[in-house]
Amino acid sequence: MGIEYAVGVDFGGTSAKLGLVGRDGRILGRDMVEIDPRADFRSIMASVSGRLTELIRGAVPDGRLLTIGLGTPGFVDSETGIVRSGAENIPALKGMSMSAALGETFGVPSFADNDANCAAAAELSFGAGRNFRHFALVTLGTGVGGGLVQDGRVSRGARGFAGEIGHICLDPHGLWCNCGSRGCLEQYASAPAIARIYAERKAKREMAVGEPTAKDVFRKAEEGDAEALDTVDDVARSLAQAFGTLLNVLNLEAFLIGGGVSQAGERLCAPIRRHLPDFTWPLLMKDVRVLPAAFRNDAGLLGAAATAYERISR
């Protein structure tokens, strides 16, 4: 018998990353397929399944496919795989089950989940979360996503929608968020928010900075730029406030920071740790870790596969 593996599919706005993943987290093969956001559901699924068939034939022709996992932005019914909301970039996906379509094509159990939940599953199974049974994975990128792990399992809530850490309210009179609420963490800690806060600080001092990125801000902070250092401290304090709220409710062991902003490493983690005691009970704070997540670009496809492995083992 050949090697056993799962397929992980990480859906983004314009492409889907495909990976063949062993039980140990080793990626046996990978590919990517471009997605036309104007295409209908059947065409999208045909493109993905066709490229996936080619990948399997080329990478593990004698292997045994056990299961398929899919990760996608938005609200996903974890039982049916139906995308309920949040897939505006690819309208054809809303109300449809990609997992059901691929499961029927390949004849194996297939599951779908929110991409941040998948990232949490990747860390739990293969990454920085292996040493913890209770942690939050927070992804900082264009938005702020999150996944919760409790008692060694990804916690999805009553309908599969738990973990929207980016929409914890920090200030009821704060900035309006695209979710319809005000003062959400996403408005103060996402990559665009970091760039905006920095540009606003510079503008108040009549210093032109053009259109900075979050990466620029952290680079400037490393160089000692005062406004960049203040911006990073502001962002860290916002994250610490949200983390403290979660600690008070869930008594977690760790916070893992993923997404593109996680490349800042200790430049971000250290001030979060410094501010965290301001927002939680000292006893709950004891021994809590704030760490970069292990996976960045591969978090989605590894997590989708990890989610599928978890589901078939229940």
Interstrand relation of 83-85 and 64-72 (parallel, antiparallel or unpaired): unpaired
Sign of CA dihedral 32, 139, 148, 185: negative
Question: Which runs of E-coded beta strand occur in 100-195?
Answer: 110-114, 135-140, 144-150, 153-155
- The mean pLDDT of 244-256, rounded to a whole number, is 97
Edge to edge, the sheet with strand 144-150 lists 153-155, 144-150, 135-140, 254-258, 289-292
Which structural domains are found in the chain, ordered by start?
4-121+298-312 (3.30.420.40), 131-292 (3.30.420.40)
Give dist(CA 18, CA 34) in Å, integer: 11
Give dist(CA 222, CA 130) in Å, integer: 31
Helix, strand, coil shares, percent, the chain, to 5: 45, 25, 35
For 42, other C-beta atoms within 10 Å of its C-beta total 11
Quick check: 97 pLDDT over 60? yes
Quick check: 10 pLDDT over 60? yes
8, 16, 312 from 28: Cα distances, Å:
11, 17, 20
Place 178 in a pLDDT band, splitting at 50, 70 and 90. confident
Secondary structure of 206-268 as H, E, C letters: CCCCCCCCHHHHHHHHHCCCHHHHHHHHHHHHHHHHHHHHHHHHHCCCEEEEECHHHHHCHHH
CA dihedral angle for residue 223, residue 200, residue 268, residue 166, rounded to 10 degrees: -160
pTM across the whole model: 0.90
Quick check: 1 pLDDT over 60? no
When mean pLDDT is compared across 133-137, 141-145, 180-184, 252-256, the lowest value belongs to 141-145
Give the pLDDT confidence score for residue 187 in this predicted structure: 96
| Burial 69-83, CB ≥16 within 10 A → b, else e | bbbbbbbbbbeebbb
When mean pLDDT is compared across 45-54, 88-97, 160-169, 288-297, the lowest value belongs to 88-97
Please, what is the Cα angle at 37 between 34 and 40, to 5 degrees? 105
Instruction: Provide the 8-state DSSP code for 25.
Output: S
Decide: 136 and 289 in contact? Cβ < 8 Å: no
pLDDT digit string (tens) for 272-311? 999 999 999 999 999 999 999 998 888 989 999 999 999 9
